[in-house]
Amino acid sequence: MLSQRHSTLPDVFPRRTDEAWKMLWCPVFTGQFLLFVTQSKINVEWLFSLHHVWKMPLDYSKWKNIEVSDDEDDTHPNIDTPSLFRWRHQARMERMAERKQEKEEITKGKTNVEKRMLEIEEKLKSTGLDEKERIKLELERDEVKKQEEDYLKKEKELEEKERLEPWNVDTIGHEAFSSSRINKVTEKRPQQPKMTYEEETKRMADYFDSNGELLKEFGSLKGLDASEKFLLEHPHIASEFAANFLTIEALNMAIEMKEDEMSNYAEQCIIVQYLLELSKSLHALATNTNVIKNFFKKFRSADPEYLKSYRAEVEAFKDRLRKRAKDKRDAAIEEYEAEEKAKRIAASPGGVDPQEVYDSLPPEMKEAFDSQDVARLQAVAQSMDQEVFCHHLKRCIDSGLWIPDANAHNEADGTATKNE
């Protein structure tokens, strides 16, 4: 009799009812399952094979890299999220179509070169070829072989891209690519070293030199149609460097108080920044013409709230430019005044700034200096406290505002002029 404890064992284990296989169930724990011993023999091999299947680890890694159009990533506050999800899906479909076309071209090219290689080999086997024709065919064979290697390399690169491509709703239901080849273990490709600040600055300066005129032309454009046409003709200017250039030019115009030009450059800069933000969220290049077309298409059909946010962003950017321009102008004025003060101090007899001395004089002394009337200055000296007057007079002498013996000074200057 089986005990009540083992009377409801899972049906996965085979039970035999014939006399030769009357079961005497004896639980033997091994890992996470039970072995059951029969009266005549143990079906160990079958149970261990089942145990091996149960113990095999499941690989869930392929489910960790799935691309979903409505992933709730952090987006720019001015980007319409539902529209962004639709753009992502459309951009993904376009990437898949481009990848499919690339695969077909590689397959077609590889087939053609293999066919040509067979034709050349057949011709070389012929004994009726002259030496000149044979040399020509051998050179062509080498060229075709090189083309074949290039196609194999492209095919391998495409396989790697497809292997690393995240699954999505359009590909998760079928196999994207299948291969049964064994490759050699290769070393991991080293990452490109990060550029230093000096290298990055030089790279940006070179970009400005090469594309400065194009960027100025783009900054002067008005309207979405003109901007889209220009970017499609010159997609390489859709970059962070272009946004930096437009920002600098807009700031220079704000400093020069050219309000209309500054406003236009600022808006063009925001368009480039929005395009870069969208391309980043789509994991695509901003220089891709399809991305540029989709951006302007969606921008034109955007809802009023989105356009309102866009205008608010442009106005906020222009306000920041105006504030920064004012700070720059104030700093330039301060620098100019400091230089002029240093020149005045260097020219003064006693190392005192004459402007500061003049500003600190009592009103009656200022009026005497302004009128250049000596008698009036003497009258001020008699009416003013002598200690105060002497203090101001000494500062006037040190700064060069007052020359004690003007006649002797003029005679000395005249003598020096004659000697020269």
List, for residues 127-157, the tens digit of each pLDDT value.
777 777 777 777 888 888 888 888 888 888 8
Do both 208 and 326 map to the same domain?
Answer: yes
Do both 227 and 104 map to the same domain?
Answer: no
The string of DSSP codes covering 143-209 is HHHHHHHHHHHHHHHHHHHHHHSPB-TTTTTS-S------PPP-PPPPPPPPPPHHHHHHHHHHHHH
- State residue 231's pLDDT score: 93
* Lowest-pLDDT range of 243-257, 328-342, 393-407: 393-407
111-124 residues labelled b (16+ CB within 10 A) or e (exposed): eebeebbeebeeee
Which range has highest mean pLDDT (94-103, 127-136, 248-257, 304-313)?
248-257
> Residue 195: what are its φ and ψ, rounded to 5°?
-70, 145
Which range has highest mean pLDDT (279-283, 310-314, 366-370)?
310-314
Do both 152 and 89 map to the same domain?
Answer: yes
Gyration radius of the chain's alpha carbons: 43
Which range has highest mean pLDDT (144-148, 262-266, 376-380)?
262-266
- State residue 73's pLDDT score: 53
Helix (H), strand (E) at residue 248: helix 240-255
Task: Tell me whether residue 100 is in a domain.
Answer: yes
In contact, 124 and 141? CB cutoff 8 Å: yes
Under 8 Å CB-to-CB from 50, ≥6 apart: which residues? 12, 33
Mean pLDDT throughout 153-179? 67
> Residue 56: what are its φ and ψ, rounded to 5°?
-65, 130
Separation CA 187–CA 233 (nearest Å): 40
Do both 217 and 94 map to the same domain?
Answer: no
Do both 274 and 395 map to the same domain?
Answer: no
- State residue 179's pLDDT score: 54
Enclosing domain of residue 310: 201-333
Do both 286 and 358 map to the same domain?
Answer: no
Place of tokens 């920041």: 320
pTM assigned to the model? 0.45
Per-residue pLDDT at 184 exceeds 80? no
Average pLDDT score over the chain = 74
Do both 243 and 361 map to the same domain?
Answer: no
- What are the angstrom distances between the C-alpha of 116 and each of 38, 103, 151, 153? 68, 20, 14, 18
- State residue 23's pLDDT score: 42
Task: Tell me whether residue 90 is in a domain.
Answer: yes
* Lowest-pLDDT range of 102-111, 168-177, 405-414: 405-414
Separation CA 85–CA 293 (nearest Å): 17
Mean pLDDT throughout 54-58? 51
In the chain, the percentage of residues whose pLDDT exceeds 90 is 16
Separation CA 152–CA 43 (nearest Å): 51
pLDDT band at 373 (very low <50, low <70, confident <90, very high): confident
- State residue 269's pLDDT score: 93
Task: Tell me whether residue 342 is in a domain.
Answer: no
Per-residue pLDDT at 113 exceeds 80? yes
Task: Give me the numbers of helices (H) and strands (E) for the chain, helices first please.
Answer: 14, 2
Q: Is 29 helix (H, G, I), strand (E, B) or coil?
A: strand
* Between residues 406 and 123, the one the model is more confident about: 123
Do both 115 and 157 map to the same domain?
Answer: yes
Residues making up the chain, counted from first to last: 420
pLDDT band at 109 (very low <50, low <70, confident <90, very high): confident
Number of structural domains (the chain) is 3
- State residue 234's pLDDT score: 92
- State residue 265's pLDDT score: 94
Do both 209 and 319 map to the same domain?
Answer: yes
Do both 248 and 371 map to the same domain?
Answer: no
Do both 135 and 229 map to the same domain?
Answer: no
- State residue 1's pLDDT score: 41
* Between residues 178 and 106, the one the model is more confident about: 106
Separation CA 312–CA 325 (nearest Å): 20
Do both 205 and 329 map to the same domain?
Answer: yes
Task: Tell me whether residue 363 is in a domain.
Answer: yes
Under 8 Å CB-to-CB from 96, ≥6 apart: which residues? 170, 171
Task: Tell me whether residue 178 is in a domain.
Answer: no
Task: Tell me whether residue 207 is in a domain.
Answer: yes
Per-residue pLDDT at 349 exceeds 50? yes
Task: Tell me whether residue 40 is in a domain.
Answer: no
pLDDT band at 28 (very low <50, low <70, confident <90, very high): very low
Per-residue pLDDT at 232 exceeds 80? yes
- State residue 260's pLDDT score: 92
Per-residue pLDDT at 356 exceeds 70? yes
Task: Tell me whether residue 174 is in a domain.
Answer: no
